[in-house]
Structure formats: C-alpha cells, structure tokens
Amino acid sequence: MATIQSPLQRCNAVLRALGARYRLREHRRSPWLTIYQLCPGGKTREVAVHGYAASDPAAVASLQELLIDATTTGNSLVLPDRGAVASAPQNQPCWPEICDAVVRFQRGQGVNMNLAGPFKGKGYFCLLPADQPATEEDVRRFALHTSESLKARLEDPAEPLIPMATHRQGFRQKREVVSLLRRAGFGAIAPQALSEELKGLVNRKKQALVAAGESRRRIPSTEAIEQWLDAVMEEDPLWGWVFAMVATYVLRPHEVWHIAELPDAHGLIAIGVAARHIKVTKTGFRVALPLPAAWVERYGLGGANGERRLEELLGRYRPRFVNEDGQPYDPERDLVMRCDNNERLGAICCHKLRSSDAKAEFELQHKLFAWVETAPAQGKRKAQRRRERCVPYDLRHAYAIRARETTSWNYADVAAVMGHSPEVHRRTYLREISGEQTKAAVVRRLLGVSSDAAVA
C-alpha cells in the first residue's frame, strides 16, 4: 500500500531528486516554513519565511518553484516578498525563539548537544513565560542555582532557590551554557562580564594556582602511564584497550567511539569521517600517530583484538547520529550528520577514571596518579608537591610533552595530530612543559642527540 505524502514531503523528494542543496523544514514552535541550505565548505544556513505556512499547499508549491529555479539556473535564491526573516534573534527576543535558535546553532557545531538540554523539551528555559522578553537576570538565576530548585520555584513561587555548588561539575556546565548563549548571538542577555563573574566563583584554591602560574594539570610520566595500563589490562581488558588508545593516539574520550580505521602497517589510525558536511567529533576528521609506537603491539590496539574491543565498546554504548533537525540520521534523506551524545560518551570514560559524580563501583580499581606542584603554603618559600589522581584529558597533555621530549616534530605537526590549532597547542599544552623537558627538546632537535647522551 502506497504511503500518502504531505506537500512538504513531496517537495523535498523533488529537490532531492534534482540534487538541490535546499530543503524545506517545519519547526514545531513556528507556523512558518524554513528554507535550509547547505553552503560551500560544509556550512549551513536557515531562513524562516514568514507568511508561508507548512499547512498551506499553495505556499509549499510556491516555495518549491523558487528553489527549483535557483537549482536549475544556478542563480542566487531570491526570497518572496511576503517577508523573509532570518532566524537571527530580534532586539527583545522571547525564550521560545531563543531556545529554537540555540538548539539549531549547537546542532550546527556537531558536538556536545547536552549543553542544549536547558533549551529543549522540558528544559528550564523552555518553561519560562513565552510572552515576556528574555533578560540577563533569567540567565544569572539559572547559573547560580540548582536545576531542581529552579523548576520547583516555577511551580510554586514560595519555594526557595538553592545556590549551586561552584566546585562541582554541574557548575562548569552552567558556565558553558552561558557561553553557548553568547556564541549563538544572544550576548545582550549573556554578556562576557557574566561569564567572568561566574568564573571568579570557582574554588579559590584553583584561582590561586592560576594567579601564581603554577601547573594546574596532573600530568603523569610515561612510565607511570605504562604501569597503570598494564594493571588496567589485567583488571578489565576492554577499558584497558580504551585507555591505551586514548594514551597512545592522544584521543579525546568521545573519539574512541568514532575510530574509522584501526592501526595500519605504519601504526596510523583515522578518526571521524572525511566529509565536510559530516562532523561526528569535536574537530572533525584527522589521522593520529602512536607515541610510543611500541604500545600498539604491547596492548593489542590493532588487528583482530582491536576489532573485537571496538565492536564490544560500540555494543555497550552506542553513538547517536542525527541530522540538522535532531531526527535520526538517514543517509538516503539527509545531507548533514552529527553525533548527538558525544558528551555522554566522554563522560563514561571520565567516570571510569575519576569523577566525583560517578558511583564508586563503576570506577576502575587501579588509579592513575601524577605529582602536582602547587603554590607555597603561607609562611613557606618552597613550592609543595602532592600526588593526585588524573583525568582522561591529562593523557593528552602527557602525549604533548612526550612528543616534545622524544621526537623532532615541530609543534604545528603535533597540533595537527592532536586535532587542534598550533595556537591552542602553544597556549594550552606547551605551557605545562618544565625547564628540563624544554632543554631535552632543544638538545634533540638542534644537536641531533638524545638528552641522556648529552648529559653523559
């Protein structure tokens, strides 16, 4: 039995058959149609066309003719005179349109859709009055109080607001939500000054370390990482393989789920999909090198063992791929593919290794430690050193230092392998290198000998 298609579905089917880069979309919070366009370079653009309703077959047909004409002639799309209004926010936007715009913006980024949670479904900002302009006070109230007390206040104005603990992971996510609002174009209600104020509320001890220029990272040595991986391999072979991949190939935690090619004859792996309109990881497709290369064989990262471990990991926790509208991805229908749960996948690794939010029985029994140098205690001149537990991102910093100490790669090449810009590498990763490590790198690069030989 044939399926009855709506005018909107028929229109998109025709556009797809013509190879058009346009589609018509219908959003649940707006009665008007939206023209979705895939631009050169993998960028996308959405324009809402006021006066053209999805429920009006004549309006759909009219827009279909315009899109077909723009596709066949190659001319620029000329919007109808009934009034086309871009999805950019107005002078005094209300929360429903802000929520729609923020979700679209973050979906275009391709990662970390958890940050858009307060703007979707029954998220906090979706519950605010739709007939009142959004204000900075709304954002400030959200950032400084727990989600449970905020929703309780909406139901009963007499309920008290409970301050958010500024040292917990949840407060960092609230700060990122404020930043997301600003990046989506709503700086009037989420100014930089508010972000700076929230940043200043983080525990004073960390701020003192930052001001003193002391190391804030717990960077383990190569020997410590190897001993720890050996122990984890015996405790849990799957998670031993996962963390060996992270340490050897400088992967972000969520990128383990997006390994496209396991180690080849040269030890190289591929991460993500090499297509501009498909972005399933934070920084898109890249190729990574093992360091040290001996860990590939030591921990069975490739071959049949690697395939079995990756299949087991994907069987336990599945990436969720969606299109630009947040619907399940269909390769026959959609031009754009994103991963909707990268933050959740990365959090699984964090909880396994170190997290105040994880259950104790979920964590690995073997912990990874590193020595941290802190600012001198009051009344003392010497800096203090203490042993602290590491998090997955500390393995990325350890890789950057290993590359500096043991290879002749320039930092731009290392940055490309790690999946970020040379400026980020210089500003964030090289700042953690000590004087002895810098000297070893100079000896290796300029004198062509190992630091041990130079000392001897």
3-state secondary structure string across 311-338: HHHHHHCCCCEECCCCCECCCCCCCCEE
Say yes or no: 75 and 136 in one domain: no
Say yes or no: 336 and 235 in one domain: yes
Closest CA to 236 of 294, 304, 295, 309: 309
Residue 454 has pLDDT above 60, yes or no: no
Of 33, 56, 86, the one marking the end of a domain is 86
Say yes or no: 82 and 143 in one domain: no
Classify residue 117: in a domain, yes or no: yes
Say yes or no: 190 and 226 in one domain: no
Of 35, 53, 86, the one marking the end of a domain is 86
CA dihedral sign of residues 382, 385, 391, 394? positive
Using only C-alpha atoms, the chain has a radius of gyration, in whole angstroms, of 26
Q: In the structure, what pLDDT confidence band is assigned to residue 234 with cuts at 50, 70 and 90?
A: very high
CA distances from 188 to 32, 163, 195, 452 (A): 26, 24, 12, 57
Q: In the structure, what pLDDT confidence band is assigned to residue 312 with cuts at 50, 70 and 90?
A: very high
Classify residue 209: in a domain, yes or no: no
Classify residue 376: in a domain, yes or no: no
Classify residue 308: in a domain, yes or no: yes
Residue 82 has pLDDT above 60, yes or no: no
Say yes or no: 284 and 160 in one domain: no
Residue 403 has pLDDT above 80, yes or no: yes
Residue 77 has pLDDT above 90, yes or no: no
For residues 59 and 32, give the distance between their C-alpha atoms in angstroms, rounded to a whole number.
10
For residues 290 and 362, give the distance between their C-alpha atoms in angstroms, rounded to a whole number.
28
Say yes or no: 246 and 343 in one domain: yes
Better-predicted residue by pLDDT, 357 or 5: 5
Classify residue 384: in a domain, yes or no: no
Residue 417 has pLDDT above 60, yes or no: yes
Closest CA to 299 of 220, 206, 358, 237: 237
For residues 271 and 248, give the distance between their C-alpha atoms in angstroms, rounded to a whole number.
14
Say yes or no: 181 and 272 in one domain: no
Q: Which helix (H) or strand (E) holds 38?
A: strand 32-38
Say yes or no: 298 and 399 in one domain: no
C-alpha angle with apex 407: 404 to 411, nearest 5 degrees? 50
Q: Which helix (H) or strand (E) holds 370?
A: strand 369-374
Say yes or no: 345 and 243 in one domain: yes
Contact 134, 189 (CB under 8 A): yes
For residues 438 and 427, give the distance between their C-alpha atoms in angstroms, rounded to a whole number.
15
Better-predicted residue by pLDDT, 275 or 384: 275
User: What's the 3-state SS for 268-302?
Assistant: CEEECCCECCEECCCCCCEEECCCCCHHHHHCCCC
- Spatial neighbors of 8 by CB under 8 A, at least 6 apart, are 24, 26, 33, 54, 60
Say yes or no: 63 and 196 in one domain: no
Q: In the structure, what pLDDT confidence band is assigned to residue 255 with cuts at 50, 70 and 90?
A: very high
Contact 286, 416 (CB under 8 A): yes
Q: What is residue 85's predicted lDDT score, i.e. its pLDDT?
A: 37
Classify residue 154: in a domain, yes or no: yes
Q: What is residue 176's predicted lDDT score, i.e. its pLDDT?
A: 87
Closest CA to 335 of 344, 343, 325, 345: 325
188: its two tokens: 């009037």
Q: What is residue 440's predicted lDDT score, i.e. its pLDDT?
A: 66
73: its two tokens: 């002639």
Q: What is the domain range of residue 190?
A: 95-202
DSSP labels, 103-155: HHHHHHH-S-GGGGGGGSTT-GGGGS-TTSB--HHHHHHHHHB-HHHHHHHHH
Closest CA to 35 of 5, 70, 6: 70
pLDDT > 70: percent of the chain: 80
Domain count, the chain: 4
pTM more than 0.75: no
pLDDT tens-digit series, residues 6-49: 788 888 888 888 888 888 887 655 667 888 887 776 667 777 77
Q: What is residue 389's predicted lDDT score, i.e. its pLDDT?
A: 86
Say yes or no: 109 and 57 in one domain: no
Of 324, 351, 367, the one marking the end of a domain is 367
Q: In the structure, what pLDDT confidence band is assigned to residue 90 with cuts at 50, 70 and 90?
A: very low
Classify residue 385: in a domain, yes or no: no
Q: In the structure, what pLDDT confidence band is assigned to residue 245 with cuts at 50, 70 and 90?
A: very high
Say yes or no: 198 and 252 in one domain: no
Q: What is residue 204's predicted lDDT score, i.e. its pLDDT?
A: 58
C-alpha angle with apex 99: 94 to 105, nearest 5 degrees? 125
